[in-house]
Amino acid sequence: MERDRAQRAGRAGDPTVAHVNYSFFHSTQSFIYFYLRTLEGVRSICLTRAPESPVIETDIPPELRGGFFIYPGRGSRSRLAGRLASWGVALRRFLAARPPRLAEPALALLNGRVVPRLRGDADPARFLTWSEAIMRRADASLIHAYFGPVGWRSLELKRRLGVPLVVTFLGDEVAPTLAPWWHWWISAGERHPDWPGRLRELFEGADLLLAEGPYLRERLIELGCPPEKVEVQRIAIPVAELPFRARPGNPEAPPVIVFAGRFCEQKGVLEALEAVRRLREAGWDFEFRMIGDDTLTDGGYAARVAAFVREHDLGDRVRMLGFLNHRDYLAEMQRGDIFLHPSVVDSEGRSEGGAPTTIIEAQALGMPVVATEHCDIPNVTAPGESALLVPERNCDALAEALEALLSSPERWEAMGRAGRAHVEANHDISTEAPRLRRRYAELLAGPARRRGPDEAIAHPVESAGG
């Protein structure tokens, strides 16, 4: 184990890759963590504005320690920061349990006026200076940014250091408008930052863009990305660490349907609950277990979720488990029989972009899946074999798909095995991490690596960095 960990940390002479992200949530962004701990032949360092929420997990994984930097430079959380985070989550949960007509204005005030005043890390120029100093000390050879807005901000670091820039797109960035939490990354003082313009700059200035699936890749090309610059790098998981369990059905216990994800519109949570309501009206006996809540969102949608459960008296069928760390999340998933995740394009035009990691993990564990024909979900499943996919926002079709599985538990094992086989063939970190390492090597050997800082692409982002 120690030898493997040392290999992942890099050997003398291995190039250093600086991974930059808004947050490194190894529970809710496990797909990034799996790459970081598996990559060999490089030394990885992480720069982030926010580590894992202390409400979920207080420790940084041992594989990342020593190369994990939290802006503005704190190496570990203070007790006060942990208490403030816990108090903030408690307040959001309290407000989200109120009726939406009261909860949503209160949460909007909290998130729009109060929280920003408590943050001391909203200076882009300082962030760039901090990041540059760390990357220079580490002799970073390549920058890998996650999410388009972070990639755009990293263009200035690419210019200063004269190193290649890789950007992983994960869906938020291809919507008509960006969520408010991204504005810090793309603002140059404007009240309404021009994200389409920033995106074109990113397409021109980055060396390699990675999309988690074919749908997202085509979407980036539609938005103007040169096809030769964007490649598919799949979401991958350590399949060998996820034990497969056949699900033959248990006549002595009600089936367990599981959902896992943020409580936000594009996850289709209200559509899931409406399908559950229809199943109960049809007389089906089951339990619906929901992993996730409002602690990593603004809480407004969570208030609608709680209100729906109250108004339809679903407390006898629905159990909300809150956010769980990755270990407890997998244990809870392993107890389930059917996985439900009906993603949709939300009212602001935002989508998954790719597909939820939870669908991949559910299949690896052997769960049959019910989901929607949304973005890359058809590509991360074997439609009709491991998953029943229905049109978005079609609650009739969603309930019918669930009913088809509840009435035929003899199908579950075969669907589970098909899902496991699909994940083993397409989403195993043991094969995907070497593919990413080869892409790094190609960039490091190419002209982008040999170009000096003065020859690197000049970029308007410099004005945003002070």
**DSSP secondary structure string for all residues of 313-341:** T-TTTEEEEE---HHHHHHHHHH-SEEEE
In terms of Cα–Cα distance, which of 351, 358, 344, 170 is closest to 272?
344
Instruction: For residues 291 and 323, state if they share a domain.
Output: yes
Residue 227 belongs to what domain range?
Answer: 2-72+120-236+429-459
Q: Domain count of the chain?
A: 2
Supply the pLDDT for residue 416: 98
Average pLDDT over residues 153-163: 97
The number of angstroms, rounded, from the C-alpha of 154 to the middle of its chain's C-alpha atoms is 19
Q: Is residue 187 pLDDT above 90, yes or no?
A: no
> Please, how many CA atoms are within 13 Å of residue 221, restricted to the half-sphere of its CB?
14
Q: Is residue 24 pLDDT above 80, yes or no?
A: no
Supply the pLDDT for residue 460: 31
Instruction: For residues 247 and 385, state if they share a domain.
Output: yes
Asked, for residue 108, whether it belongs to a domain, the answer is: no
Asked, for residue 19, whether it belongs to a domain, the answer is: yes
Instruction: For residues 276 and 344, state if they share a domain.
Output: yes
Supply the pLDDT for residue 75: 40
Q: Is residue 23 pLDDT above 50, yes or no?
A: yes
In terms of Cα–Cα distance, which of 354, 425, 353, 338 is closest to 387?
338
pLDDT in tens, 36-49: 999 999 999 999 88
Instruction: For residues 359 and 443, state if they share a domain.
Output: no
Instruction: For residues 7 and 51, state if they share a domain.
Output: yes
The two tokens of residue 74 are: 């704190």
Q: Where residue 71 falls among pLDDT bands split at 50, 70, 90?
A: confident
Asked, for residue 210, whether it belongs to a domain, the answer is: yes
Instruction: For residues 420 and 434, state if they share a domain.
Output: no
Supply the pLDDT for residue 6: 37
Within a 10 A sphere around the Cβ of 113, how many other Cβ atoms?
9
Asked, for residue 262, whether it belongs to a domain, the answer is: yes
Average pLDDT over residues 187-192: 74
Helix (H) or strand (E) holding 44: strand 43-51
Which amino acid would we find at residue 292? G
Asked, for residue 87, whether it belongs to a domain, the answer is: no
Instruction: For residues 433 and 422, state if they share a domain.
Output: no
Comparing 65-74, 385-394, 395-404, which segment has the lowest mean pLDDT?
65-74
pLDDT in tens, 205-260: 999 999 999 999 999 999 999 999 999 999 999 999 999 999 987 788 899 999 99
Higher-confidence residue of 165 and 194: namely 165
The two tokens of residue 340 are: 């439900």
Instruction: For residues 192 and 309, state if they share a domain.
Output: no
Distance, CA of 269 to CA of 297 (rounded, Å): 14
Supply the pLDDT for residue 399: 98
For 345: left if phi > 0, alpha if psi spans -120 to 50, otherwise beta; the answer is beta
Q: Is residue 73 pLDDT above 50, yes or no?
A: no
Distance, CA of 300 to CA of 434 (rounded, Å): 41
- The pLDDT > 90 percentage for the chain reads 59
Instruction: For residues 393 and 435, state if they share a domain.
Output: no
Asked, for residue 86, whether it belongs to a domain, the answer is: no
Supply the pLDDT for residue 153: 94
The number of angstroms, rounded, from the C-alpha of 144 to the middle of its chain's C-alpha atoms is 16
At which residue do the structure tokens 């005030």 appear?
A: 109
Write down how long the chain is: 466
Q: Is residue 11 pLDDT above 70, yes or no?
A: no
Asked, for residue 276, whether it belongs to a domain, the answer is: yes
Distance, CA of 15 to CA of 446 (rounded, Å): 14
Distance, CA of 109 to CA of 96 (rounded, Å): 13
Comparing 130-134, 250-254, 405-409, which segment has the lowest mean pLDDT?
250-254
Mean pLDDT estimate for the chain = 85
Supply the pLDDT for residue 120: 53
Instruction: For residues 13 and 140, state if they share a domain.
Output: yes
Which amino acid would we find at residue 161? L
Q: What are phi and psi of 9, to 5 degrees?
A: -70, -20
Distance, CA of 368 to CA of 358 (rounded, Å): 12
**Residue 82: exposed, middle, or buried by beta-carbon count in 10 A (0-12, 13-18, 19+)?**
middle
Average pLDDT over residues 365-375: 98
Going 269 to 214 to 358 to 210, the CA torsion angle's sign is: negative
- The pLDDT > 70 percentage for the chain reads 82
Q: Is residue 172 pLDDT above 90, yes or no?
A: no
Q: Where residue 285 falls among pLDDT bands split at 50, 70, 90?
A: very high
Higher-confidence residue of 368 and 27: namely 368
Instruction: For residues 191 and 295, state if they share a domain.
Output: no
Asked, for residue 109, whether it belongs to a domain, the answer is: no
The two tokens of residue 117 are: 């005043």
pLDDT in tens, 112-126: 655 655 555 567 888
Supply the pLDDT for residue 36: 92
CATH number, residue 331? 3.40.50.2000
pLDDT in tens, 410-460: 999 999 999 999 999 999 999 999 999 999 999 999 864 444 434 433 333
Supply the pLDDT for residue 250: 79
Measured CA distances, 209 to 254, 340, 372 (Å): 45, 30, 26
Distance, CA of 273 to CA of 271 (rounded, Å): 5
End-to-end Cα distance, the chain: 44
Cα-based torsion angle of the residue sequence 49, 52, 58, 62 in order, rounded to the nearest 10 degrees: -90
> Please, how many CA atoms are within 13 Å of residue 66, restricted to the half-sphere of its CB?
9
Average pLDDT over residues 289-309: 81
Instruction: For residues 328 and 267, state if they share a domain.
Output: yes
